Structure 1
């Protein structure tokens, strides 16, 4: 009897092991079409689409995954799409919304004077887009009266009191971290973020594909240049020269334009804080100075920063500024549009440094300091 009992237990064990070993967990395939951006993702799991915000703000220790559905429940990270009433907070959002035809859904914006685009300025002027104060102190009463389905914000950290107040009133706040991207195409790819929110995903994908193709083609053109001119950038602010670091998206433009950026070997994705002496020591003989802060004229430079006249680029009229091209109310076109159109930005730099490669192209963002 004992033998039969042992045999029975053995058989049960064998078959239970067999069942466990042959049972397979079927995983739902996950797809994504994000190629360059590191701060967000759009994933599809079966019939479920999710928007993942990987870098909502600088040094964020957590990410947020929102299920895109037909009903908003932010406590469960569920978001209804498409959005038809939105408040956005950065001018960099405007060109992307315009490209997918979604600017008409903007109901409010802080500091509307900085909006340069004529199309969206018309919506401000006719009262469709309401002025909401400043980015630091958004008028929450006005905002709540608009009853937006979503507020798309940006922040330096996760302790924004204004956004917390908005969230407590059952209006979702979604962080947009496009400004944290370290490559030009990574920033531009955030158009897909807007595409999925406004039911314009295919359109956003198509637009980005064209921008990507244009950028890579122009990048190849730059390789035909016979030499690499030397470049400096940035300017003084309170006795500190802020120079784009070697891993920054600005440095990426200089590299892709086939130039020799004199600080290309420095580390960091933001700005370097340098003394005027160190910049003079390294960059005095640079061929070009591209991006000289908010300076507009040589006369203004001489009056405010007499040390600048010593640079070869200044003497030879090779200083280029983005501060001249403005919208009707003073907003800089460079800050608003260049993140969305890195292809045009790269063309500008190539036109400046290798003019023979683009003889018929006219600058979009820069002008020579006069």
Structure 2
């Protein structure tokens, strides 16, 4: 009899707890619908006492989804307290987003610090406020333990990353940032909202992105005013293979939005096309403008790279533009660092190059003409 009463009591307690949990869940109503408009790789849900960060595309061809609860007053070990005070990021594309949110002083470690171009963050590195952690594929875990970040923001090609698994075993949460997998320029830029949530600056992040979006769409509308659509060639040779943007890539999106006739705009694929130089020359020899030819400092270096370059119309008319000469003090290329956050400036650069009459007062940010 006592045993039966005990079982009944336990059942009642279980029902009460379930009802209580159900009540708590129902009381946590969403405060608003998602503000994510372009990015496909993450989402944010705001509730009364916490926010949920959902990473939908942590790496290529992923079927995994990761969820993180962020709150000012964590009650469980699996909840992250915000705003973060100490963070490690692993890609230079993260740096401009921290700076726009005035959170670069929360960055305490970074792998491959020489790749960082921003003068603002470079000062922190030079002053010893940001620790060099080795390289992004083999982070120095001993140093990582010493500096004690609250979160490591990483990126990975697949689910089998032993380094990040080891970091998590050390008790340091890892959040994968998949901004590099986004297929549109504005989709990449929208990841500033990811960092806005981590630093409890979601409203500020929304405002910054809204302005970038407005600038981008305004520039796009200006480009459409031109009836001229110059023929554009892009990319260059690397070990006898010419790599150029596929027609569905985010790079091709820039060329489309700038109202140009990109020669491979109808090709399939969201990455790069790998072609032989003969096929590129046959199709692109009469292009008006050549963008991103490779890592050449000037026309002379370009011609020395391959004599066929001098037979291109864009070479003969001196209409070749590169972003590779705009570098930081330790060699990092500014385009790789800043362009994902500021697609509006990339688009304006391309419009200035291809339709110079439309943006008469604008000066190029990333690209320079090869002379």
Per the normalisation by structure 1, the TM-score is: 0.90
What pairs up with 1:69-148 in 2 under 5 angstroms?
A: 69=71, 70-71=73-74, 76=78, 78-148=79-149
3-state SS of paired residue (1:148) = coil
What is the aligned partner in structure 1 of residue 52 from structure 2? 50
In structure 1, distance between residues paired with 2:163 and 2:26:
44
3-state SS of paired residue (1:108) = strand
Contact 1:188 1:340 in 2 (8 A): yes
3-state SS of paired residue (1:329) = coil
1:118, CA displacement in angstroms?
Answer: 0.7
In structure 1, distance between residues paired with 2:67 and 2:307:
52
What is the aligned partner in structure 2 of residue 239 from structure 1? 240
1:306, CA displacement in angstroms?
Answer: 1.5
What is the aligned partner in structure 2 of residue 300 from structure 1? 301
Give CA deviations for 1:193-230 in whole Å, capped at 9, x if unaligned.
Answer: 00000111111110101110011001000011121001
User: Which segments of 5 or more consecutive residues in structure 2 lack a partner in the other structure?
Assistant: 1-24
What pairs up with 1:240-259 in 2 under 5 angstroms?
A: 240-259=241-260
Instruction: Establish whether residue 342 from structure 1 lines up as the match of residue 343 from structure 2.
Output: yes
1:143, CA displacement in angstroms?
Answer: 1.1
In structure 2, distance between residues paired with 1:113 and 1:332:
10
In structure 2, distance between residues paired with 1:106 and 1:161:
23
1:82, CA displacement in angstroms?
Answer: 1.2
1:71, CA displacement in angstroms?
Answer: 3.1
1:264, CA displacement in angstroms?
Answer: 0.5
1:159, CA displacement in angstroms?
Answer: 1.4
Give the 3 Å change call, closer, same or farther, for CA 263–92 of structure 1 in structure 2: same
Give CA deviations for 1:281-322 in whole Å, capped at 9, x if unaligned.
Answer: 111101111111222211111112222111111111111001
Q: Which has the larger radius of gyration?
A: 1
In structure 1, distance between residues paired with 2:184 and 2:283:
25
Give the 3 Å change call, closer, same or farther, for CA 245–73 of structure 1 in structure 2: farther
Contact 1:31 1:45 in 2 (8 A): no
What pairs up with 1:312-327 in 2 under 5 angstroms?
A: 312-327=313-328
What is the aligned partner in structure 2 of residue 152 from structure 1? 153
3-state SS of paired residue (1:236) = strand
Give the 3 Å change call, closer, same or farther, for CA 72–240 of structure 1 in structure 2: farther
In structure 2, distance between residues paired with 1:109 and 1:305:
37
In structure 1, distance between residues paired with 2:123 and 2:26:
53
Contact 1:348 1:365 in 2 (8 A): yes
Q: How many residues align?
A: 344
1:79, CA displacement in angstroms?
Answer: 2.2
After TM superposition, the structure 1 stretch with the greater mean CA deviation from structure 2, 302-311 or 248-257, is 302-311
In structure 2, distance between residues paired with 1:296 and 1:162:
37
Give the 3 Å change call, closer, same or farther, for CA 38–132 of structure 1 in structure 2: same
Contact 1:110 1:138 in 2 (8 A): yes
Give the 3 Å change call, closer, same or farther, for CA 353–51 of structure 1 in structure 2: same
In structure 1, distance between residues paired with 2:92 and 2:250:
18
Contact 1:72 1:79 in 2 (8 A): no
CA RMSD of aligned residues (A): 1.6
3-state SS of paired residue (2:243) = strand
In structure 2, distance between residues paired with 1:41 and 1:293:
35
Instruction: Establish whether residue 40 from structure 1 lines up as the match of residue 67 from structure 2.
Output: no
Give CA deviations for 1:223-272 in whole Å, capped at 9, x if unaligned.
Answer: 11121001111111111111101010100000000001110101111001
In structure 2, distance between residues paired with 1:150 and 1:307:
50
User: Which segments of 5 or more consecutive residues in structure 1 lack a partner in the other structure?
Assistant: 1-24
1:62, CA displacement in angstroms?
Answer: 1.1
What pairs up with 1:186-335 in 2 under 5 angstroms?
A: 186-335=187-336
